[in-house]
């Protein structure tokens, strides 16, 4: 994992590209600029770990390029939970729940990610309160979509389990 300049990456990717990311949707250019410049940007190679269980959960990551897979342990074996792609975030649940990381996030391709830690998150709230509200809506919307998928998966699992003779 290599740290990059957020300012340089902002120029390379362009504001239009960043505005199209679901996490940044409807944010003002100054707010996105603050996130990119004050946050930490990392280049990951395929197979690099973004985080592991037990690590501090005081930040979240926005996928700017590539993809990241998330795994949880089940009976000592890693179980693939989902994949995150350009524009999505990973790690927000730990930040808002004030917990350490519960699973493993690993780059499933070469990737670029922006880390937004709790201090940076708060600074955005102070500097751009309206944008902070929009960002919270974007993050909440993505979290709600995850809950919908989990509910559907649970319903399918219970339906399949009910058909198994005991």
Mean pLDDT, residues 54-83 taken together: 95
What the chain holds in terms of domains, given with CATH numbers, is 2-118+128-163 (2.60.120.10)
- Residues 31 and 131: their CA atoms lie apart, in Å, by 7
- How do residues 2-56 score in pLDDT, each as one tens digit? 999 999 999 999 999 999 999 999 999 999 999 999 999 999 999 999 999 999 9
- How do residues 84-113 score in pLDDT, each as one tens digit? 999 999 999 999 999 999 999 999 999 999
Judge whether residue 76 has pLDDT over 90: no
Where do the DSSP E strands lie in the chain?
A: 2-4, 40-44, 49-51, 59-65, 68-74, 77-84, 89-90, 104-107, 111-117
- Residues 82 and 41: their CA atoms lie apart, in Å, by 22
Task: Tell how strand 40-44 and strand 68-74 pair up.
Answer: unpaired
pLDDT value of position 6: 94
């Amino acid at each position: 994992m290599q740290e990059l300049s957020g300012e340089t990456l902002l120029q390379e990717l362009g504001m239009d590209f960043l505005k199209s990311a679901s996490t940044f949707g409807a944010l003002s250019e100054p707010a996105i600029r603050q996130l990119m410049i004050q946050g930490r940007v990392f280049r990951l190679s395929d197979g690099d770990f973004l985080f592991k269980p037990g690590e501090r959960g005081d930040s979240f990551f926005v996928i700017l390029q590539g993809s990241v897979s998330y795994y949880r342990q089940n009976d000592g074996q890693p179980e693939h939970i989902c994949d995150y792609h350009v524009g999505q975030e990973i790690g927000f649940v730990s930040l808002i729940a004030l917990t350490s990381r519960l699973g493993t996030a690993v780059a499933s391709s070469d990737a670029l990610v922006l880390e937004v830690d709790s201090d940076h998150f708060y600074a955005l709230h102070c500097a751009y309160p309206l944008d902070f509200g929009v960002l919270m809506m974007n993050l909440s919307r993505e979290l709600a979509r995850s809950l919908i998928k989990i509910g559907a998966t649970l319903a399918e699992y219970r339906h399949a389990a009910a058909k198994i003779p005991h």
